């Protein structure tokens, strides 16, 4: 038997994106390093104008397909995005295979999170008491507006007018930078990707790699008119170094620092921040004042549980064994002051949604985004929401069911997201459940409703479903192209529908295994 299929990690989606040479590589002991979010192989796209994200018009439903079509039309961006995220997925698989207890860790992570969420009040109470006794000031915010006001109040009390911060999806959710600008506080993002996005006045497109949709030429363009780099120089080392040099003085003179948190440990009153750049540690350890904004769902009971999540997080996110920095804050440093703002912003209500509460297990690793064929080809900004990709599809409608009513349809329901999720959220099932809920709430346009109705009838009748799948596969094999690639089938646009299987799984199982039962 041939073993040619052993090394699938070298498989590329777009082999033409592979660079001929690898001058940027860092080689150690003959090995090309690919830790953190580094690619496992050199990629090189051609310059191209950057496509922009979804058009957001107040409360009107986001047209994800329209923005995705523009991203797909920018072929260099689309192929680079697709390839880079698929590379992260493959690195994730490599790490997974290196740990024999991987599936056990996923089950533990899921069980720990479900236990904590079903006792959330008790653990928050325990954390608060412990953190206070360690000298941390603990605040509570019902929603985004209250969060922003609390942070503003702390800054005002200290006469602080500049704030350095590390990346936090929660502060994105709260529209924090926008609010701070309105009250005259200068906010400086210190994560390179987030800084690029801030300077370009654009939201992050991915929870872990915020500027993954941009090419080096796009970054050179942004930096040339914001931090004064040479517009003709697109060397990545030059761009990163220029940003370091431009940000360092701002870090040194900032009045306050802000971080998010990846995990919160109830028994010790600790919060944990993971970064690759060390920028959270600069934000927390250089100014006297440190404020951490933390979603209430980040809590876990004890230190022994933290080990499970730290082992899973970076491996799932980037295929790197650990973030470069995993920092544990249990109290203020000598002469410093530490504040924690615990934020609800819809989370406690989500806890009461029977079909959707387990989405609160999410640790924001982005693995579901990296594996999702729709996300990889649409770009995160096409979702027009704080959270994009599969996890976004099931979180965003809880913030605004009308505005994000189209998002649960941006999925092929292939289930890959569920398979890679380190905390075992049944993401694709929740996506389907959201479609049902939104149809019931009349938030869904007519074409989708008709298709949903037919699908609903089929899915409730296993025999009819099997017959329909078998005949659909037969039809796919024989129908003329114009029937499959028509305007009503959005995901037949710009892509080939997969070759239909000659036999359905069910009929294969019946023929091959059925008798053995």
* d(C-alpha 492, C-alpha 72), whole Å: 13
* d(C-alpha 52, C-alpha 213), whole Å: 10
| Identity of the residue, 275 or 406, whose beta carbon is nearer to another protein in the bound complex | 275
Tokens of 348: 């406690």
| Identity of the residue, 284 or 368, whose beta carbon is nearer to another protein in the bound complex | 284
Residue 324 contacts another protein per CB under 8 A: yes
E strand segments, 409-458: none
Residue 225 contacts another protein per CB under 8 A: no
- Applying CB under 8 A, what is the total number of residues that bind another protein? 109
Min dist. Cβ of residue 496 to another protein (A): 27
E strand segments, 270-336: 270-275, 289-295, 299-300, 325-329
Residue 216 contacts another protein per CB under 8 A: yes
| Identity of the residue, 330 or 506, whose beta carbon is nearer to another protein in the bound complex | 330
Residue 143: C-alpha distances to residues 175, 285, 426 (Å):
11, 28, 27
Residue 126 contacts another protein per CB under 8 A: no
Tokens of 290: 């440190």
Tokens of 136: 């941390």
Residue 391 contacts another protein per CB under 8 A: no
| Identity of the residue, 293 or 323, whose beta carbon is nearer to another protein in the bound complex | 323
Residue 506: C-alpha distances to residues 152, 193, 360, 389, 499 (Å):
59, 46, 34, 30, 17
Min dist. Cβ of residue 106 to another protein (A): 12
Residue 247 contacts another protein per CB under 8 A: yes
Which of the residues 270 through 289 are near another protein (CB under 8 A)?
Answer: 270, 276-279, 281-282, 284-286
Residue 351 contacts another protein per CB under 8 A: yes
Residue 226 contacts another protein per CB under 8 A: no
Residue 439 contacts another protein per CB under 8 A: no
Query: Would you list the DSSP string of 237-294?
Result: HHHHHHHHHHHHHHHHH-SEEEE--SEEETTTTEEEEEESSSHHHHHHHSSSEEEEEE
Q: Taking the mean position of all CA atoms in its chain, how far away is CA 292?
A: 20
| Identity of the residue, 84 or 152, whose beta carbon is nearer to another protein in the bound complex | 84
Residue from 47, 228, 321, 462 that binds another protein (CB under 8 A)? 321
Cβ atoms of residues 155 and 148 within 8 Å: no
The burial class, CB within 10 Å (0-12 / 13-18 / 19+), for 1 is exposed
| Identity of the residue, 136 or 407, whose beta carbon is nearer to another protein in the bound complex | 136
Cβ atoms of residues 324 and 38 within 8 Å: no
Residue 371 contacts another protein per CB under 8 A: no
* d(C-alpha 207, C-alpha 352), whole Å: 25
- Max distance between CA atoms of the chain, in angstroms, equals 77
Residue from 11, 33, 447, 459 that binds another protein (CB under 8 A)? 33
Residue from 6, 10, 16, 354 that binds another protein (CB under 8 A)? 354
Which of the residues 195 through 214 are near another protein (CB under 8 A)?
Answer: 196, 209-212, 214
Residue 157 contacts another protein per CB under 8 A: no
Which of the residues 63 through 102 are near another protein (CB under 8 A)?
Answer: 80, 84, 87, 100-101
Residue 493 contacts another protein per CB under 8 A: no
Residue from 66, 103, 121, 230 that binds another protein (CB under 8 A)? 121
Residue 111 contacts another protein per CB under 8 A: yes
């Amino acid at each position: 038997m041939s073993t040619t299929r052993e090394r699938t990690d070298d498989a590329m989606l777009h082999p033409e994106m592979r660079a001929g040479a690898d001058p940027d590589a860092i080689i150690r002991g003959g090995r090309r390093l690919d830790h953190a979010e580094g690619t496992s192989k050199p990629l090189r796209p051609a310059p191209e104008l950057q496509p922009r994200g979804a058009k957001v018009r107040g409360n009107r439903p986001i047209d994800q397909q329209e923005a995705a079509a523009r991203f797909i039309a920018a072929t260099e961006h689309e192929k680079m995005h697709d390839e880079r995220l698929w590379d992260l997925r493959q690195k994730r698989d490599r790490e997974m295979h290196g740990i024999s207890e991987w599936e056990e860790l996923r089950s533990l992570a899921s069980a720990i999170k479900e236990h904590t969420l079903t006792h959330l009040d008790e653990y928050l109470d325990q954390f608060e008491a412990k953190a206070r006794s360690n000298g941390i000031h603990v605040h509570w915010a019902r929603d985004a507006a209250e969060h922003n006001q609390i942070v503003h109040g702390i800054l005002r009390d200290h006469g602080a007018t500049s704030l350095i911060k590390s990346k936090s999806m929660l502060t994105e959710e709260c529209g924090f930078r926008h609010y701070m600008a309105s009250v005259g506080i200068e906010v400086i993002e210190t994560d390179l990707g987030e800084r690029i996005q801030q300077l370009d006045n654009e939201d992050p497109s991915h929870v872990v790699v915020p500027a993954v949709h941009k090419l080096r030429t796009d970054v050179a363009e942004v930096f040339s008119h914001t931090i004064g780099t040479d517009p003709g120089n697109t060397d990545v080392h030059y761009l990163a170094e220029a940003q370091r040099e431009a940000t360092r003085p701002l870090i040194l003179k900032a009045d306050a620092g802000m971080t998010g948190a990846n995990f919160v440990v109830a028994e010790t009153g600790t919060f944990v921040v993971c970064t690759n750049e060390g920028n959270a540690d600069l934000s927390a350890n250089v100014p006297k004042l440190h404020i951490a904004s933390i979603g209430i769902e980040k809590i876990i009971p004890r230190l022994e549980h933290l080990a499970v999540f730290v082992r899973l997080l970076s491996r799932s996110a980037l295929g790197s064994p650990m973030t470069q920095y995993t920092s544990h804050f249990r109290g203020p440093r000598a002469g410093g002051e530490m504040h924690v703002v615990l934020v609800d912003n819809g989370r406690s209500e989500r806890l009461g949604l029977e079909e959707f509460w387990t989405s609160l297990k999410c640790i924001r690793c982005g693995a579901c985004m990296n594996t999702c064929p729709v996300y990889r080809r649409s770009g995160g900004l096409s979702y027009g929401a704080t959270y994009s990709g599969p996890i976004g599809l099931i979180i965003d409608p809880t913030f605004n069911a009308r505005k994000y009513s189209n998002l649960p349809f941006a999925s092929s329901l292939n289930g890959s997201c569920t398979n890679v999720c380190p905390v075992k959220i049944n993401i694709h099932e929740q996506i389907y459940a959201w479609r049902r809920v939104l149809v019931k709430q009349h938030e869904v346009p007519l074409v989708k409703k008709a298709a949903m109705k037919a699908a609903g009838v089929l899915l409730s009748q296993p025999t009819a479903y099997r017959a329909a799948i078998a005949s659909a596969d037969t039809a796919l094999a024989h129908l003329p192209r114009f029937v499959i690639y028509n305007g009503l089938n959005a995901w037949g646009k710009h892509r080939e529908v997969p070759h239909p299987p000659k036999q359905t799984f069910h009929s294969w199982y019946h023929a091959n295994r059925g008798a053995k039962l």
